[in-house]
Amino acid sequence: MRLLDIQKRYLEEKGDKYAYFSAMFDVHRRLFEYPELLAGSPVRKIDMTQEGVLFEIEYEGVPIKICADPQDAHSLPLTFLNFKNYDEARESRFIFQMIQPGDTVFDIGANIGWYSLNILLRKKPVTVYSFEPIPASYQLLVKNFRLNGQSAELAFNVGLSNENKVVKFFFDTKCAMASSMANLRNHEETVEVVCQARRLDDMMTSFSGLKRLDFIKCDVEGAELLVYQGALKTLETWKPIVFSEILRKWSKKFNYHPNDILDLFRKLKYECYVIEGESLATFGRVDDFTIPTNYFFLHNEKHEKLIKELVRD
């Protein structure tokens, strides 16, 4: 039973005070388990305030404050508590290595701001444009920016695609990071929300202060090809490094194959790479036995120096 329900029942029934103490403590006692749970975890502190539950996570030397979604069982702060690590730790290290002070970064599918904040706080000065279509996630994104002393002026409540239109998104309330323009999991916790979708090429005309674009991180749960189709001019003009999640099972929901993305980038003179050990390795084609799900795309000419540094012979 929820704490407020226990309290409400006691106040309404004027029950036994000591039974009330006991019933509340049966729930409160969990608080005293958390110091042990925090041990060995990047989570340094959990603050409970009237505006929510705030986690302070020290990730590779950088402290970040994140407000947790009370409905999301898979939220990043809880992932760190549950597993004491993060599945994309290796990918994060490469991303942070590639982004340099002064760079401009697009975080497409920003969710509640984990990547945006990591980049902003560890690579000063840097400019990050964050794109998140789901209203509930966008609200947390803006809140987390504020908690970390960052402006949310370049955080946009919009999804990127190959058309400018209002679209139906499937918002997974128990795993917000799995929300998509396709109903990926058919969970009963998934609800439909109406969001704005835009082509990146069209949005670029409104970014008057944009002088460069160096890095794109794109994780949109299967709609990655649609994002790149709507960004062909941007990619050809600026030639940014691109980090992209690409899963066969999700791209199938959008009626394309991951190799369609690889072909699109190769036409733009990019090559595809995956992480192997402490280096990048050239990647060929996706097949039914492919294990990697995260890919880096580097332009053959613009990123020639970086390719020599990071790609193994």
Q: Give the C-alpha separation, 61 to 63, whole Å.
A: 7
Domain co-membership, 118 together with 79: no
Domain co-membership, 224 together with 190: yes
Domain co-membership, 124 together with 46: no
> Band of the pLDDT at 176, cuts 50, 70, 90?
confident
Domain co-membership, 127 together with 228: yes
∠ CA 250-273-221, rounded to 5°: 20
Average per-residue pLDDT for the chain: 92
CATH value at residue 189 = 3.40.50.150
Q: Give the C-alpha separation, 77 to 92, whole Å.
A: 16
Domain co-membership, 25 together with 144: no
Q: Give the C-alpha separation, 15 to 83, whole Å.
A: 41
Domain co-membership, 153 together with 93: yes
On the question of pLDDT at 223 being above 70, the answer is: yes
Estimate to the nearest angstrom the gap between the alpha carbon of 309 and the chain centroid. 27
Answer whether 99's CB lies under 8 Å from 122's CB: no
Q: Give the C-alpha separation, 313 to 310, whole Å.
A: 10
Domain co-membership, 116 together with 94: yes
Q: Give the C-alpha separation, 94 to 47, whole Å.
A: 31
Q: Please provide the distance, in angstroms rounded to a whole number, between the alpha carbons at the two ends of the chain.
A: 60
> Band of the pLDDT at 12, cuts 50, 70, 90?
confident
Domain co-membership, 206 together with 301: yes
On the question of pLDDT at 185 being above 90, the answer is: no
pLDDT value for 313: 67
On the question of pLDDT at 219 being above 70, the answer is: yes
Domain co-membership, 43 together with 186: no
On the question of pLDDT at 296 being above 90, the answer is: yes
The pair of structure tokens assigned to 62 is 């950088």
Domain that holds residue 66: 3-83
Q: How many residues does the chain have?
A: 313
Domain co-membership, 10 together with 117: no
SS3 assignment, position 209? coil
Among 63, 83, 103, residue at a domain's last position: 83
Domain co-membership, 132 together with 268: yes
Q: What is the pLDDT of residues 13-68, one digit of tens each?
A: 878 888 999 999 999 999 999 999 999 899 999 999 887 899 999 988 899 999 98
Among 36, 67, 83, residue at a domain's last position: 83
Among 56, 83, 110, residue at a domain's last position: 83
Domain co-membership, 117 together with 262: yes
Give the chain's domain count.
2
Burial 260-283 (b: 16+ CB within 10 A, else e): bbbebbeeeebbbbbbeeeebeeb
> pTM of the predicted model, to two decimals?
0.92
